[in-house]
């Protein structure tokens, strides 16, 4: 993909910088990590510091000192995560700020206008994000999401931004296909699969991807929102996904959990107290080149911020490097071999489903301050 702020090789994983910062890192560190694209959250930035403030300060790139490509979501996901705090109509959605309880209104036109003020390279249409398991709600919401997508297209003025449509339809193949057919008829420069990776069973996630990707144009990027575990990147790429984003690597890092080629380990564990090895032998990230597991564990136990930074650098390097290897393997016709070799070593955590269920429960709770 080509943007005014640089080319984005695909498939690509985008680190999440919810509040105009990929948590704990500087833009220079993201450059060192060779991150091709980062994501920021419209909902959060609209509330604080305000999209108008960011616009007056030169837009999001200047504000956060990142000159590479940025994608902003529409705010829909966050607003619809504020379960008890929103009123939705065909016009748009009224919600209360998780910061101060103040009341706000997002319409499709306003979501686009805010994203034009922020000035990201890729922006997203406003969508309604229902509970993925509720057929009736998904069917009704889909009409609204489609109508909003049309209004977003009409409202969008900036030629330097690509406005993507977002497919909805829960875990229901018929609704998903309907969404793909309708949105592609509008002719977006890219298509996202929304409303997934929010707690539904993982086989359903891939069933929805399989149901829709064949209906999407081959020359437009497909974006699977909120997906970012190593094993899921392989599954998604294999099915034709071009863009991924997730808070997983950065959030895990701040909990002491780091990726290795054999699976995740948690540095809090006592077994690492005197472990002089890096997180992963041979890893080229700054953390692994300079620090032992014992030191990282010490930083975590002592509550030191540096530990959060170093774990974040490693986890993002792990995913970004994995995507570089995947892109190279695709070019060389070796994707299947890479996937097999990687997954033969890598043990996904067994409680993945439990965590997702917890995530769904949390979504149904109050504010969703840091999700994708």
Annotated catalytic sites, by residue? Answer: 73, 245
Is 26 or 357 the residue whose CB approaches a second copy more closely? Answer: 26
Give the C-alpha separation, 371 to 67, whole Å. Answer: 24
3-state secondary structure of 237: helix
Q: Are strands 257-260 and 263-266 parallel, antiparallel or unpaired?
A: antiparallel
By the 10 Å C-beta count (0-12 exposed, 13-18 middle, 19+ buried), 343 is classed as middle
Give the C-alpha separation, 236 to 339, whole Å. Answer: 11
The helix or strand, by DSSP H or E, that contains position 87, with its residue range, turns out to be strand 86-88
Q: Are strands 122-124 and 257-260 parallel, antiparallel or unpaired?
A: unpaired
Torsion-angle region of 299 (φ positive above 0: left; ψ -120 to 50: alpha; else: beta):
alpha
Q: Which residues contact 218 (CB under 8 A, 6 or more apart)?
A: none
Give 3-state DSSP helix, strand, coil % of the chain, rounded to 5: 45, 15, 40
Residues making contact with a second copy (CB under 8 A): 19-21, 23-28, 44, 48-49, 53, 56-58, 63-65, 273-274, 276, 286, 290-292, 294-295, 297-299, 301-302, 304-306, 308-310
Q: Which two tokens stand for residue 337?
A: 């071999």
Place of tokens 């909003």: 148
The helix or strand, by DSSP H or E, that contains position 326, with its residue range, turns out to be helix 305-331
The residues with which 105 forms a beta bridge, in sequence order, are 94
Instruction: For residue 92, give the DSSP letter.
Output: -
Sign of the CA dihedral running 21, 26, 31, 32: negative
* Per-residue buried b or exposed e for 37-47, using 16+ beta carbons within 10 Å of the residue's own CB: bbbbbbbbbbb
Q: Which two tokens stand for residue 234?
A: 């392989």
């Amino acid at each position: 993909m080509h943007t005014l702020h640089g080319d984005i090789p695909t498939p690509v994983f985008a680190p999440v910088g919810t509040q105009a910062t990929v948590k704990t890192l500087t833009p220079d560190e993201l450059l060192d990590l060779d991150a091709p694209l980062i994501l920021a959250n419209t909902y959060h930035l609209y509330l604080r510091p305000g999209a108008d403030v960011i616009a007056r300060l030169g837009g999001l790139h200047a504000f956060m000192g990142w000159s590479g490509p940025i994608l902003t979501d529409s705010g829909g996901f966050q607003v619809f995560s504020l379960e008890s705090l929103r009123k939705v109509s065909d016009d748009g959605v009224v919600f209360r700020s998780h910061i101060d309880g103040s009341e706000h209104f997002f319409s499709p036109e306003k979501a686009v206008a805010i994203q034009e003020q922020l000035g990201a390279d890729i922006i997203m249409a406003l969508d309604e994000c229902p509970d993925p398991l509720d057929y009736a709600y998904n069917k009704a919401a889909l009409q609204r999401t489609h109508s909003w997508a049309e209004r977003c297209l009409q409202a969008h003025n900036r030629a330097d931004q690509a406005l993507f449509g977002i497919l909805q339809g829960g875990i229901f193949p018929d609704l998903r296909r309907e969404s793909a057919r309708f949105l592609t008829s509008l002719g977006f420069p890219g298509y996202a699969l929304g409303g997934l990776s929010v707690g539904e069973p993982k086989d359903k996630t891939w069933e929805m991807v399989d149901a829709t990707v064949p209906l999407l144009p081959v020359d437009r990027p497909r974006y699977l929102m909120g997906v970012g575990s190593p094993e899921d990147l392989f599954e998604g790429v294999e099915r034709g996904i071009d863009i991924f984003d997730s808070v997983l690597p950065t959030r895990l890092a701040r909990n002491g959990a780091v990726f290795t080629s054999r699976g995740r380990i948690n540095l809090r564990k006592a077994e690492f107290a005197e472990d002089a090895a890096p997180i992963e032998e041979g890893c080229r990230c700054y953390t692994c080149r300079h620090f032992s597991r014992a030191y990282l564990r010490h930083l975590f136990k002592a509550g030191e911020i540096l530990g959060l930074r170093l774990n974040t650098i490693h986890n993002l390097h792990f995913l970004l490097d994995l995507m570089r290897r995947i892109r190279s393997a695709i070019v060389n016709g070796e994707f299947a071999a890479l996937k097999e070799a990687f997954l033969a070593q890598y043990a996904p955590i067994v409680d993945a489903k439990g965590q997702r269920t917890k995530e769904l429960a949390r979504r149904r709770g109050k504010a969703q301050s840091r999700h994708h």
